[in-house]
């Protein structure tokens, strides 16, 4: 008979298991309700690490730091949920701005006809992709042609039937963020400059173009991670934000600190990229920062000991809000 590596245990057994490992649980009913709402895996396995003693050879099971309460883990879970919500909100807004600017720029540079703005000659080949050996352009255009020729959602179906043409501002409604990023990557210099000018309100030098492209890839990674319920406070995406003066201006991150990981691919990198991307919309950018601050301030009130550790995981300094305000006064991300 096959033996399950992780056999089912009921709620009371789960609670007793946690208590045996040193976690303080005084209200068993509340603990049961929480474990039903979030599951043991999501709550305990997801957020226990910060509260565990270093493992020793003499024991195999987790051991909690003395005095650790179940509420400590729940508080971290709730903070992370708020960070996830803020991440989704800001990246979805950024995604909307990017979709709008891409469709406008394609139509302005090439026109609204399919045969014009989807002319392969206007796009780079890109790299070969490992899953099938095709160039990025070939794989992307296969997906785009399928959406154009056999639309499955409105308003694409309507435009195809009524006008036998789906303009770019309609096509983007059926593109994933990843497909849109690839479309931007392979687009011409004229399209990219138009997109950046629309969003940032400035002309683009090479450093700005690089930072813009890496930023939208970071937004894509964080958005997907958040949308799938991923843990946010210590997430490290596979895209690295290049070091710029924004790191120093916003968070006081030195090149040495950056090399150690601060502002490279952590939550701090998301904030820096968002402030760069949203610099034309000061009020919305500030609204995002304030949401982060409110959530962190609430957490600090109930978990002052773990607060500094959370900031370290996020990659932001303890004086982050004052640093942001000072940085924006010195150089408003222009």
Banded pLDDT at 333 (limits 50, 70, 90): very low
How many structural domains does the chain have?
2
Q: Which two tokens stand for residue 185?
A: 């990557």
Query: Same domain for 45 and 96?
Result: no
Report the percentage of the chain scoring pLDDT > 70: 95
Query: Same domain for 52 and 199?
Result: no
Paired with 69 in beta bridges are 24
For 257-312, how does the pLDDT look when each residue is reduced to its tens digit (9 = 90+)?
999 999 999 999 999 999 999 988 878 888 999 999 999 999 999 999 899 999 99
Query: Same domain for 40 and 107?
Result: no
Banded pLDDT at 5 (limits 50, 70, 90): low
For 187-238, how does the pLDDT look when each residue is reduced to its tens digit (9 = 90+)?
999 999 999 999 999 888 899 999 999 999 999 999 999 999 999 999 999 9
Residue 153 lies inside a defined structural domain of this protein? yes
Residue 236 lies inside a defined structural domain of this protein? yes
What is the rounded CA–CA span in Å between residue 94 and residue 102? 12
Q: What is the pTM of this model?
A: 0.91
Residue 299 lies inside a defined structural domain of this protein? yes
Residue 73 lies inside a defined structural domain of this protein? no
Higher pLDDT, 60 or 104: 104
Query: Same domain for 152 and 289?
Result: yes
Q: Which two tokens stand for residue 120?
A: 């392969």
Residue 286 lies inside a defined structural domain of this protein? yes
Residue ranges making up the domain that contains 35: 11-68
Dihedral over alpha carbons 3, 6, 7, 13 (to 10 degrees): 150
Query: Same domain for 287 and 205?
Result: yes
46, 68, 90 - which closes a domain: 68
Query: Same domain for 201 and 315?
Result: yes
Banded pLDDT at 58 (limits 50, 70, 90): low
22, 42, 68 - which closes a domain: 68
């Amino acid at each position: 008979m096959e033996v399950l590596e992780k056999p089912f245990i009921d709620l009371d057994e789960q609670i007793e298991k946690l208590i045996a490992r040193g976690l303080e649980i005084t209200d068993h009913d509340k603990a049961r309700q929480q474990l039903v709402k979030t599951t043991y895996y999501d709550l305990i396995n997801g957020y226990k690490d910060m509260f565990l003693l270093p493992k020793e050879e003499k024991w195999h099971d987790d051991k909690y730091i003395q005095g650790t309460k179940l509420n400590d883990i729940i508080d971290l879970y709730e903070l992370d949920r708020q960070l996830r919500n803020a991440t989704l909100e800001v990246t979805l807004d950024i995604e909307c701005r990017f979709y709008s600017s891409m469709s406008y720029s394609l139509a302005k540079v090439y026109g609204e006809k399919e045969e014009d703005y989807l002319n392969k000659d206007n796009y780079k080949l890109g790299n070969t992709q490992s899953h099938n050996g095709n160039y990025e352009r070939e794989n992307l255009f296969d997906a785009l042609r399928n959406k154009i020729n056999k639309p499955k959602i409105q308003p694409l179906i309507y435009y195809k039937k009524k006008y036998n043409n789906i303009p770019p501002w309609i096509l983007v409604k059926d593109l994933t963020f990843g497909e849109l990023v690839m479309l931007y990557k392979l687009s011409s210099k004229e399209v990219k400059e138009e997109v950046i000018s629309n969003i940032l309100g400035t002309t683009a030098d090479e450093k700005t173009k690089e930072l813009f492209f890496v930023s939208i890839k970071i937004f894509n990674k964080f958005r997907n991670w958040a949308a799938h319920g991923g843990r946010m406070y210590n997430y490290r995406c596979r895209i690295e934000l290049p070091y710029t003066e924004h790191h120093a201006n916003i968070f006081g991150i030195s090149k040495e600190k950056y090399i150690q990981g601060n502002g490279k691919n952590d939550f701090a990198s998301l904030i820096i990229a968002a402030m760069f991307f949203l610099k034309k919309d000061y009020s919305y950018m500030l609204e995002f920062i304030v949401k982060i601050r409110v959530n962190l301030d609430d957490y600090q009130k109930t978990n002052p000991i773990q607060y500094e550790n959370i900031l370290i995981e996020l990659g932001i300094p303890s004086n982050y809000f004052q640093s942001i305000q000072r940085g924006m006064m010195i150089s408003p991300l222009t």
